[in-house]
Amino acid sequence: MGYTAATSKARWLAFALVPVGMLALGGCSQEHLDQWGRVGYPEAITDRAPWMGNLWVGTWIAAMVVGVFVWGLMAYVVVKFRRRADEDKPRQTQYNLPLELLYTVVPLFIISVLFFFTVQAQDAVQAKVATPTHTVNVVASKWSWTFNYMENANSKVSAVVHEAGTIETIPDLYLVINEPVRINLTSADVDHSFWVPQFYYKLDVLPGHPNSFDVTPTKEGVYLGKCAELCGTYHSNMLFNLHVVSQAEFDAKMSALKAAGQTGEIKAPDYTSVVTVPTTEEAPK
Ligand SMILES: [Cu+2]
């Protein structure tokens, strides 16, 4: 079958309709449109997350500006300098010093701008508050989480209470809306990673190397938390439910843990005093 102008037009039309079709198949609910606006990210639920969200969307905008410019240049040269019937090959140009300087300087400029905004967002996300209202000491272990709520100063609870999950029972983590909390992370065995996708943030949980971060949840709801570091056979079971709740609901949950006898802190082993690095002489042959 011959290739006619009509089939060419039909192909271009089909090509142009692909994104429209994808949008239609995806459904155009408000939720979907919002997610497109966040370039795939879920809804942000903390005071820190917008820093990461803006960096993510801003990086995509910068990439698209560069992309559209480069695609435009490519299309221009493909059309303008295409081989014509009367010439063997187009004029070849090489070693153009100004041009080579330009395409060294421009990427350096782009990377410098991205670097500046990355450091700015990182500093804001990792900033510590002077006095967090709550402290939760989290212990990760193969393959679940233990949450210790350091609520001694909370007059409604006046105790440290804990909840420990198992592979079969996913534990709950309760945080109070609009109150800064410090999350201290320790591991009882191997490397894990604490992740709530709606935080736009995750942090490694390492044996012998305590990590911590501060955050203020800003939206009530129940969200799925995960371990984001492949930590063994049942890594995929290492989930928790994050509940962002009112102060009253939080106090009720803490009191329930206390009434159930789940008081005191469950700690990970102190690996800093256990782990020793073998010297060359001691290392097995
Ligand atoms: Cu894990």
CA of 193 to the centre of ligand 1 (A): 6
Domain that holds residue 77: 48-83+95-127
Gap from CA of 182 to ligand 1 centroid (Å): 20
Residue 159 included in any domain: yes
pLDDT at 88 (0 to 100): 73
Could you tell me the distance, in angstroms and rounded to a whole number, from the CA of residue 229 to the centre of ligand 1?
6
Give the closest residue to 151 by CA, choosing from 139, 172, 164, 136: 136
Note the pLDDT of residue 1: 43
Mean local confidence (pLDDT), 92-119: 91
Residues 6+ apart with CB under 8 A from 170: 144, 239, 240, 241
Distance 34 CA to ligand 1 centre (A): 31
Phi and psi torsions of 162, nearest 5°: -140, 160
Note whether residue 138 is domain-resident: yes
Number of structural domains the chain divides into:
3
Give Cβ neighbours of residue 118 (< 8 Å, ≥ 6 apart): 55
- pLDDT tens column, 176-188: 999 999 999 999 9
| 113 in the same domain as 218 | no
Tens-place pLDDT, residues 9-60: 667 666 666 666 666 665 678 888 888 889 999 999 999 999 999 999 999 9
Q: What is the CATH number of the domain that holds 245?
A: 2.60.40.420
In sequence order, what E strands does the chain have? 134-141, 144-151, 159-164, 172-176, 181-187, 192-196, 201-205, 211-215, 221-227, 239-245
Residue 237 CA, ligand 1 centroid: distance in Å: 9
Is residue 177 a part of any domain in this protein?
yes
Residues 160, 103 share a domain: no
- Position 285 in a domain: no
